[in-house]
Structure 1
């Protein structure tokens, strides 16, 4: 998992980007970490600059990129 950076959002706790794999990792406030594949760096940069990160994720990430869940560490 890439280094995660906290963000100002009521729904997203932290995000990270792996440029070698074009993967965006999102950890949600309510729990759950998801990895979105085939994400261009420009989308990650736009996410960080978005006025509402939660809205950006719902409109520009979730519907467009394949996703997998990250198992919780035990």
Structure 2
């Protein structure tokens, strides 16, 4: 999934698969998560938000089923 870096103290990058409506978020804290059945409008709202972290907490976190898929690897 293609990732786009975002300017956020919490989120590192965001990706979206419109075919499966899966949102992928990499966090600075180390986790990579998939959020399922996320409408494209929510993804677009996240990417357009002035605060990606605030938008994530208000409109995505705890509202969509998610799965932690990986830990961030050391670089």
What TM-score does the superposition give when structure 1 sets the normalisation length? 0.92
- In structure 1, C-alpha distance between the alignment counterparts of 2:52 and 2:38, rounded to whole Å: 16
- In structure 2, C-alpha distance between the alignment counterparts of 1:72 and 1:31, rounded to whole Å: 5
Q: What residue is the counterpart of 1:16 in the other structure?
A: 15
Between Structure 1 and Structure 2, how many residues are aligned? 73
CA RMSD of aligned residues (A): 1.4
1:38 aligns with 2:23: no
Unaligned runs of 5+ in 2: none
- In structure 2, C-alpha distance between the alignment counterparts of 1:37 and 1:55, rounded to whole Å: 19
**Displacement over 2 Å in runs of 4+:** 71-74
Unaligned runs of 5+ in 1: none
